[in-house]
Structure 1
Amino acid sequence: MKTQSEIKPILYRKKSSAAALALSLILVASSLSGCAQASDDTTNTANTANSANEGETITEQPLNSAPEYAEKIFGTDIITLEILADEEDWQTMLDNATKEEYIKVDVVINGTTFKDVGIRPKGNSSLKQVASSDSDRYSFRIKFDKYVDGQTCFGLDQLVVNNMMGDNTYMKEYISCDLMKTIGVDAPYFGFTDISVNGQPWGLYLAVELYSDSYETRVFGDTSGALYNVKMSMGQDQMPGEGRGPMVNDPAMDERPSAGSGASESVPPATTPLDPPTSGFDEAPGSFPINTPGDLPGGKGGNMGARNGGSLAYTDDAPESYSDIFDNVVGEEDAEANQRVITALKALSTGTDLETYLDTDAILRYLAAHTVVVNLDSYSSTMAQNYYLYERGGEIAILPWDYNLAWGGFQSGDASAVINFPIDTPVSGVAMADRPLLNQLLSNQDYLAQYHDHLSTLIQNYFADGHFTTKIQALNTLISDYVKKDATAFCTYEENQTAVEAFIELGNLRAESIQGQLSGAIPSTTDGQKADPSSLISADDLNLHDLGSMMGERKN
């Protein structure tokens, strides 16, 4: 049986929504066949989709062009990762984790040894939080060619392993990535990995292919594009290292009011903040009611990312005005690529020639999955970060990244606000006008219809008829023994099982709300929901804290 990793992501280019929907149905069906497994008949299904939609151009590489690491790393249900390090070097790295300095180790992946590999801690707020706790459970970045020029792991040059902070389910990022893959986004490969260090158990993590040369070669056939890891920057609060932004839980944020009024009015489709909940929302640092702008650092409505390019708002032609993008380039800086990005943002600001400057189909697919999972440590909120921007030939696309705080894990109010997060004004803490990528696409009726098609596909094929429940239960069966014996877990096994049940309920209620919004039974904008709160799906007794907290302290 072929794995999910062996399905070459199809490069969609401006197809009709009907053709896109037909192919999406096939992709979704294959993703539901089990934990990280897919059909053997990938080539045939792709050809069937192509022949069923004559006149539509679908570019795909043959199945046998999949890189070796698709099978050798991500082709197993659980990746085994053994780290063999000098004990003193390892401890020194952990003791100085915030410096994010590489050390040389050997790694054994699914039984194959790779010598002299670079590894270092990684992260923003999670790095700071672990460093200030009694835990050493950092996320890590693994660079196979750090010390040996040209070395790869079965063709993969870089890998990250994420520590599950803030996610008692162990599944939020996995499911978010799977939704992206399902709807046809060129998402990175991902899979659960059981880590040991010098023969001692370390913990169950999520391994994710890093956006780098191997990814570009796999998806686009070459490395001619420009990749940017969009991260918020705030001057002296900028963290050291490659592509780093400030802590999410920045001390300055603790001084904000819990709610405020300060967002500008949007252009259609409009958004006006929901009234803040009267009680029960998370007052932890970095958390405030969904859809409620406040006077946060960065100006009106707390639009912190807008000043430096993360909002994708055009300001002028000076590259220094977009530091959140260009300061975080992956690889060598390309001044001409930077200018092409600025040209694309200028077109976006006016809504003209969008097909020329944006990969609209790919972006709409991304936005659909992104909206489903309510990830607010992202472009959708005041942060305006945690996505990759890819430029190639003057056209830009968005690539997904960092979903451990999805499903209401960041800046969220009560569970009802997450369940009913509006699909046509999917922003929080800012107005739609402050996020031109969303505003320009969703105010265009043709694009809005394509976006709705993608949402409908996800709901009908990933959630309906018990599919989501079955998916989560299957993943739980796969990983529960690993979670039970996780040596460095941030939660107990009992808390994990409670979180899994809460996740099933949250996912199904979220799907019910989206379906209602698509049909018109539930308002799909913030204004509409404010005017008719009785139509919203009730959260009943669902407690978002059961799924994990962004402050994620180790409990066992």
Structure 2
Amino acid sequence: MRWKRRIPIRIRHYWKFLAGCLAFVLVLTVTLSTVRIRPYVTSTSDTGGDVVTQNILGTVDLFDETVAHSIELVFRDADYERMLDAFYDEGDKEYIEADLVIDGTTIPSVGIRLKGNSTLRSLSRNGETPQRSGGQGGPGGQGRQGQQGEQGGQGQQGRQGQQGGQGQQGGGWIGGGGFAQSSLKAEEPETLPWLIRFDEYVDGRRYQDHREIAVRVAGMGGGSTVLNEAVTLDLLAAAGEVSQEYAYTSFTVNDRPTTARLVIEHPDENFADDFDSSGVLYKSLATGQFTDQGDDPIDYADDFKQITMKGSQDLQPVIDLIKWVNTASDEEFDEQLADRVDVESFARYAAWQNLLLNFDDMSGPGRNYYLWYDLGTKKFTVIGWDYNLTFSGSATQGPHEQGRLGGGFRGGMRGGTDATGEQTDAEAPEGFTPPEGFTPPEGFTPPEGFTPPEGFTRPDGEAGPGGNGGFGGSGHKLKERFLASEKFKQVYEAAYRSLYQQVYADGAALATVDAVTEVLATVDGYDESAATSDAENLRTLIQQRTESLATNEVITGS
């Protein structure tokens, strides 16, 4: 019996109790392993549960956009390589620990990770860009499968991720979310898109009330300076819209060269403080489809993420909205929409996206929007974000035309206007490799040696839903029905006229370009040549847009 003495005394003394517990666990495992567990909210409190234990004030308001800022990151190379391994092998965006200095204030042990979906599909490592399928956020990811079966020419792939497509070294197509002007390189971490989280390793910590900030990537719709996003955020704020704060900052990683980068407020729990009322904030995910998937919240896990009031509120209001939008008759939609959605606000949202030529809004491939549910009025407000593809469409796009990727002052493949103002055909960049299911825009001119992939044209021969010409844009039922309704046409056009006057006719957009570039010129790492070129291109597009819309019947009221 010597083997008994190797077992701790406490275990020998209570072996019957422990055996009983083990048997109980086994019974639960056998009986409940096939039972689906649904989450239920047991409280309807209108307060959140986030606890802040440390709020670092710093010395300078991080989002004072009128001054230059500085950010320094230091992390271990071994941690960085492990992070890249996780991203390349599994498509996971894992946090690593870093020490941070913002405007002279040291903040040790913050969490940093790569940020973005389609953006990261141009990320190369040792000269190679992975060409594989994976989960959401991974290079060339396919997203979740199974919801659409063979619809839309997807065959057995089912529902593909909205950010699908293959990464391509040297720029080009990056999954429907836009075109990179140059590929991202893992060897240049100072150029990558980052999410910085202050409480990843220190619970309850904030910096100037912010839990997270995002370092935006260069080379998208706004060129190397992301000037278009900064100008957009300024215009939105000046008009009283809810938008993210931003600033330009020098950005240094380890001993790498310093660059000038755009940082923006990340819409986390703190973002809800911008609202006057009590409510719940929901983030739309890139894999979302805004279709009725039943009553189980688990089935909407790839569609929306609840940001605030977790545990006291749930996803039910969003599920109810989705069901209603997808099942209501045209008459019911016209009569009851105002009971569920802030119609005036939504009209402004839709007008903004068109005026600013934002291809990648709630109906675009990135599904870039939030829903704010007011617990008092029981109505939703649509909040826009991720504006790095504004000013990337045709300057002549009309108020009732749907945007698509093309035109604009930057772009990998676009139709635009020539020096005389005439519309030009879309041309693909050299080395362009379209993703499966790609549908070309009108007037598309393929490069020499272009070989169309399987599924180049959809079986029905039509462009993708939402008028996006197959560029990964997938439409959005709420926006489509709103803009198609004769009842809401007047409220939309009224919002459009008002915003046109504020943004273009009164010269606010051009003045904002000048103001933003003036600040950018004071930032360490500033590239004068690139900034000058980006600003001039943006001014040209704004002038063309102003002139084109000035004679439109919606603006003139004729």
Normalised to the residue count of structure 2, the TM-score between the two structures is 0.57
Amino acid at match of 1:374: L
Distance 1:359 1:521 in 2: 26
1:127 aligned residue: 120
Letter of the structure 2 residue corresponding to residue 503 of structure 1: L
* Larger displacement relative to structure 2 (108-117 or 511-520): 511-520
| 1:442 corresponds to 2:425 | no
Matches for 1:486-505 after TM superposition, within 5 Å: 486=526, 493-505=528-540
Q: Does 1:397 align with 2:381?
A: yes
- Matched AA of 1:138: L
State the Cα distance separating 1:360 from its structure 2 match.
Answer: 2.2
Secondary structure of residue in 2 paired with 1:206: strand
Q: 1:364–1:377: structure 2 CA closer, same or farther, 3 Å change rule?
A: same
Q: Which residue of the partner structure matches residue 387 of structure 1?
A: 369
Q: Counterparts in 2 of 1:104-503, with a 5 A limit?
A: 104-131=97-124, 132=129, 133-134=184-185, 135-136=188-189, 137-166=191-220, 167-168=222-223, 169-198=225-254, 200-220=256-276, 225-232=280-287, 309=289, 312-314=290-292, 316-319=294-297, 322-326=300-304, 328-330=305-307, 337-349=314-326, 350=328, 351=333, 352-381=335-364, 383=365, 385-393=367-375, 394-408=378-392, 411-412=405-406, 413-416=414-417, 427-429=467-469, 435-444=476-485, 447-480=488-521, 482=523, 485-486=525-526, 493-503=528-538
Select the structure that is richer in helix. Answer: 1
Q: How far did residue 140 of structure 1 move?
A: 0.6
Write the distance in 2 (CA, Å) between the matches of 1:520 and 1:179: 19
* Count of residues paired in the alignment: 368
Look up the equivalent residue of 2:389 and give its one-letter code. Answer: L
Residue 384 of structure 1, CA deviation: 6.3
Amino acid at match of 2:72: E
Q: RMSD value over aligned CA atoms?
A: 3.8
Higher relative contact order (CA 8 A, sep 6+): 1
Q: Tell me the distance in 2 between the aligned counterparts of 1:447 and 1:185.
A: 20
Kept in 1, the 8 Å contact 2:69–2:523? The answer is no
CA distance in 2, matches of 1:433, 1:448: 22
Q: CA deviation at 1:148?
A: 0.9
For 1:509 and 1:323, the matched residues in 2 are separated by 42
Q: Secondary structure at the match of 1:208?
A: strand
Give secondary structure in 2 for the equivalent of 1:337.
coil
Q: 1:455 to 1:79 in 2, by over 3 A?
A: farther
Match of 1:84 among 70, 74, 95: 74
| Higher deviation after alignment, 204-213 or 151-160 | 204-213
Shift in CA distance, 194/337, structure 1 to aligned 2, threshold 3 Å: same
Q: Give the aligned residue type for 2:382.
A: I
C-alpha contact 1:419 1:513 (8 A) present in aligned 2: no
Given that 1:374 and 1:406 are in contact with CA atoms closer than 8 Å, whether structure 2 keeps it comes out as yes
Q: Name stretches of at least 5 consecutive residues in structure 1 with no aligned partner.
A: 1-66, 233-307, 487-491, 524-556
Distance 1:156 1:333, change over 3 A: closer
Take 1:173 and 1:199, find their aligned partners in 2: how far apart are those partners? 28
- Show structure 2 runs of 5+ residues with no match: 1-55, 130-183, 394-403, 407-413, 424-464
Name the CA distance, whole Å, in 2 between partners of 1:477 and 1:406. 20
1:61 corresponds in structure 2 to none
Offset at residue 314 of structure 1 (A): 4.4
- 1:514 and 1:508, CA in 2 relative to 1: closer, same or farther beyond 3 A? same
Q: Report if the CA contact (8 A) 2:249-2:523 is conserved.
A: no
- Aligned CA distance change for structure 1 residues 522 and 218 (closer, same or farther; 3 Å): closer
Q: CA 1:125/1:155 → structure 2, altered by over 3 Å: closer, same or farther?
A: same
Deviation, 1:172, is: 1.2
Change (3 A) 1:155 1:115: same
What is the distance in 2 between the residues matched to 1:69 and 1:158?
Answer: 15
Q: Which amino acid aligns with 1:165?
A: G
Q: Is 1:512 matched up with 2:501? A: no
